[in-house]
Amino acid sequence: MDAHKLTMRICLLVAAVLALAAGPAAAQGVKERMAERLPVIEDLKSRGIVGENNQGYLEFVGGPREKEDVVAAENRDRQAVYAAIARQTGTTPELVGRRRAIQIAEQSRPGVMLQRPDGSWYAK
């Protein structure tokens, strides 16, 4: 499965979780925003400008800090999703983010920068 299809599936899962936690309107907004940002984020990842950190968020890892507004918006939406999942599952947003980081690392394509639990970065 290519990265775009995988990310779209993730967006649908996120929308489902948010629909349960915050209502369909909020979920649809997050889903749409994440889908709109996807091409920019994939480009930044492919060029090694951002990577996926060990907390489930995008982080700048090298090169120029391009599209900071897009990265910040993505991280805000991820934070909202993790909080909604945490409420649903009785855990913390931090734990949800760390678990999501593991999933992202497993599903990332070769070349994407990922952060290990010890904080060091590597290209998958």
pLDDT number for residue 42: 95
Give helix then strand counts, H and E, for the chain. Answer: 4, 4
Give the domain extent around 74.
3-123
pLDDT number for residue 29: 80
104-122: pLDDT as tens digits:
999 999 999 999 999 999 9
pLDDT lower than 50: segments of the chain? 12
Classify 119 in phi/psi space as left (phi over 0), alpha (psi -120 to 50) or beta.
Answer: left
pLDDT number for residue 79: 94
pLDDT number for residue 63: 76
Number of domains within the chain: 1
